[in-house]
Structure 1
Amino acid sequence: MTSTVTTSAAAYLDLLGVDRAAPDRALLDRVVTAHNATIPFENLDPFTGVEPPTTSDGVAAKLVHGRRGGWCFEHNRLLYDVLAAVGYQVTPLVGRVRLGLAPADPPTSRTHRLTLVDTTEGRFTVDAGFGSTVPTTALRLVAGLEQPTPQATYRYTRDDHGAWVLQRRGSGDWADQYVVDLVPAPDVDFAMGSWYLTHHPASHFRTGLVAARTTPEHRTTLDGTRLTVRTADGDVARHDLTSPARVRDALEEHLGVDTGAVAGLEDRLREVYFP
């Protein structure tokens, strides 16, 4: 383990306000909850035509020191590095996103990064990079076990091929989130997935703006020009943003993103949403 990762881990825990402790389930939950509450999910790099970082140093510089967020390849790279640095046994995984799809629909590409964590208390997955429906605690890898969080209830099931399917139930029925096997994924898979979603013409991360930040009390999302704030009690407030300046303000004030470092953002917003 390099000193860079160790230093970044300390800075990361300071940013989250999480004290160092033994690597157990309780610390795992505190880290995942604080990460989702502190570091926003956002796709400003691919939206504005910038290649997001995938290396440990690049991700830490952006998310820990740069007051920026990122997507799954960044959030879950950072989380993986920190958990390894503080003593957890971790395995990098890559899954297929299934949001809005039925089990019979064709398979999707392997473009979601998450982490498997083995502890003396059991086996868990952690994820800090799934946007507006991210689970905000570690999830025990047990089929059929319903696991409530302040925002929704999650469970794992198994598909016909033995892969694990994460499902979420909010105010409606169970919905698939992603499918993942437990084969360790090398860094090149994540670099490929990041490049694909950054450059493919049909990638919604290129063509539209998305951002999210989830605390135990609120889940705040930005989808294009629609800002939505949901409370853990179920109240929903929606705001339609009518100018690039208002979108930037929402990113700064509600999501905690430093947009000053994002070159060309207002021009890109005008191009896509305010032609």
Structure 2
Amino acid sequence: MLLKNEGGLCYDLNTILYYFLIENGFNVSLVQGVVYNHIANQWSSTGRTHVAIVITHNEYRYLIDTGFGGNLPLKSVPFSGEIVTSQNGEFRIEQTNTEHGNYILHMKLKHKDRDWKMGYAFDTRKSVDESDLNEVQKIIIEHPESSFNKKPLITRFTDRGNLILTDTSLTEWTDGKMVKKDIDPEQFKLIAKEQFGI
């Protein structure tokens, strides 16, 4: 990621942060989750392919996630159910037993959502190790319904929203208004370099 100036997915980004936190004396663990697909109105068919971090600090637990694209909380979210507000919206955790885990991250994205929606369910009862991360990576790369193996996807926050780049479009959210432009392969390369530094 550093040498090739590339981005990463949740299993890359959160794992790097996880090891950094361990090296600096924090009490952390990795958890796996299932993302809720709002377009299909169902849990992701790729299963537990989202990876996040649970940190325990002063006897309180928090969820930390740096790999959830434009849905990032941008702050640690307490397990207490307390609502956390960041420049990206509001976030809270609900303890509930589902087939996908024992907690759900809920979100209300700034300028996008009027009501709470599910982000992902995750399970704190199962430890995650490197073999689990390798399996997540394999599913993301090979699963026919994975949204990450079809075309490039790059997201970046801005002061007033975010940018989303694929090989066919650039979507810009500014103060809750969306502008989407179709682009060609040459424009993709130029925008990736100029707007994302890739």
Coarse TM-score class (shorter-chain normalised): 0.7 to 0.9
- Structure-1 separation of matches of 2:26 and 2:5: 26
TM-score using structure 1 length: 0.63
Corresponding residue to 1:213 among 156, 179, 194: 156
Identity of aligned residues (%): 23
What amino acid sits opposite 1:98 in the alignment?
A: Y
Matched with 1:188 is: 131
- Structure-2 separation of matches of 1:117 and 1:212: 25
Matched with 1:251 is: 192
**More deviation, 194-203/235-244:** 235-244
Q: Across the two proteins, how many residue pairs are aligned to each other?
A: 190
For each residue in 1:85-136, what CA deviation from the matched residue of structure 2 results, as whole angstroms up to 9, or x when unmatched? 122111011111113165xx46740100111111126211111111121221
Q: What is the CA-CA distance between 1:190 and the residue it aligns to?
A: 1.2
- Where do 1:1-275 residues align within 5 Å? 62=1, 64-100=2-38, 102=41, 105=42, 108=45, 109-120=47-58, 122-143=60-81, 145-161=82-98, 163-170=102-109, 171-182=113-124, 183-215=126-158, 217-231=160-174, 234-257=175-198
- Structure-2 separation of matches of 1:106 and 1:73: 19
What amino acid sits opposite 2:120 in the alignment?
A: Y
Please state whether the residue corresponding to 1:204 is helix, strand or coil.
coil
Change (3 A) 1:78 1:160: closer
- Structure-2 separation of matches of 1:77 and 1:110: 15
Which stretches of structure 1, 4 residues or more, deviate above 6 A after TM superposition? none
Please state whether the residue corresponding to 2:49 is helix, strand or coil.
strand
What amino acid sits opposite 2:10 in the alignment?
A: C
- Structure-2 separation of matches of 1:228 and 1:247: 12
What amino acid sits opposite 1:111 in the alignment?
A: T
What amino acid sits opposite 2:156 in the alignment?
A: R
Matched with 1:47 is: none
Unpaired runs of 5+ residues, structure 1, are 1-61, 258-275
Q: Would you say the 8 A contact 2:96–2:102 is kept in 1? A: yes
TM-score using structure 2 length: 0.85
Q: Would you say the 8 A contact 1:226–1:238 is kept in 2? A: no
- Structure-2 separation of matches of 1:69 and 1:128: 12
Quote the RMSD (CA, aligned, Å). 2.1
What amino acid sits opposite 1:181 in the alignment?
A: D
Q: Would you say the 8 A contact 1:228–1:236 is kept in 2? A: no
Q: Would you say the 8 A contact 1:152–1:168 is kept in 2? A: yes
For each residue in 1:1-43, what CA deviation from the matched residue of structure 2 results, as whole angstroms up to 9, or x when unmatched? xxxxxxxxxxxxxxxxxxxxxxxxxxxxxxxxxxxxxxxxxxx
What amino acid sits opposite 2:127 in the alignment?
A: P
Matched with 1:20 is: none
Q: What is the CA-CA distance between 1:252 and the residue it aligns to?
A: 1.6
Q: Would you say the 8 A contact 1:151–1:216 is kept in 2? A: no
Unpaired runs of 5+ residues, structure 2, are none
